[in-house]
Every structure is written in structure tokens, then in C-alpha cells.
Amino acid sequence: MSDSSAATDQASQAQFTVQKIYVKDVSFEAPNTPGIFNDAGQPQLNMNLNQKVARLDDGVFEVVLGITLTCAIEEKNVYLAEIEQAGVFGLAGFDERNLDMMLGTYCPNVLFPYARQAISDLITAGGFPPFYLQPINFEALYAEGLRRRAENFAQQSSGAIMAEGGNA
């Protein structure tokens, strides 16, 4: 069997399923209302993004996409919207590298539209103009994470070699 046939066989055996999508946690705070509605100024937005993966069973994973959006005018908080959008995904037949890539890119891409809509609804329900999160390139974020992991591994390895060399 050639390498390309083996890769094709593995790809045809790989299975991805979305078993459940749900909101794990949600929060909205507008601590300075109603006075903040009259404040003039340029709102400053800050977004934090995180992701957690947990193995629930053999080939079953929970992926949680966390988004925190903070809006402030000068030093005064306008609102804080947070969501943990989660999903349970079945992934079978993937090698470790492709499994890691699917969990780090494909699963967050599935969850993001749900999180974006929930954040937008929260902000609008809070009395503020609609805000739509721009698309996120999870592939680029994943690649950056891999680069950082490789860099940290290289630093730890060189540190261990230097420490061993120092003990000689």
C-alpha cells in the first residue's frame, strides 16, 4: 500500500460529529447604567479569547470557547459581556497531530457563530447599539500556539542541557 493510499484510508475512516452545542456560562454587566447612556466619548473595546478542551470519553471531547468583551469610555466601564460557548464533539480515526488541529481550529470555528450571536444579543438587550464580533482566524491562532509551544520546548530543552552540562 502506498503512502497516499494509507493517508486516504485514514482520512476516509476519520469521523467528526457535533453531538451537542450549548451555553456553559454567560454574564452581562453594565455597572454604570443609566448614567453611562449620556456619556460622550469614544468607546474602547477589549476582547479576550480562550479555549479549553476536555476529553470526556474515548473519542469524545468538550470544547469550550470563552469570549470576554469589555467596553469602556475613558476609565469608566460601559459593559462587560462574557460567554463560554461549549460543544461536545466526537472525533474518531484521527492521528494525534490531526486530532489536536481539529480541536484547536475546527471545533472553535463551529462554536464561534453561536458565541458571536449570544454576545450581540446580550449587548443589545443591555440597551447598547448592536456589536458584531468580526470573524476570527482560528487557524492562525492555532499556528501561533504551535510556534509558542515549540519555542518553549526548545528553551526548556536547552535549559536542561545547560543545567546538565553545568553539573559535569
Amino acid 24 reads K
Tell me, which fold does domain 11-134 have in CATH? Bacterial Protein-export protein SecB (3.10.420)
Q: Domain boundaries in the chain?
A: 11-134, 137-168
List the chain pLDDT tens, one digit each, 168 residues: 455 555 555 556 899 999 999 999 999 999 999 999 988 889 999 999 999 999 999 999 999 999 999 999 988 999 999 999 999 999 999 999 999 999 999 999 999 999 999 999 999 999 998 888 999 999 999 999 888 888 887 777 765 554 455 444
Rounded CA-CA distance 108/97 in Å is 17
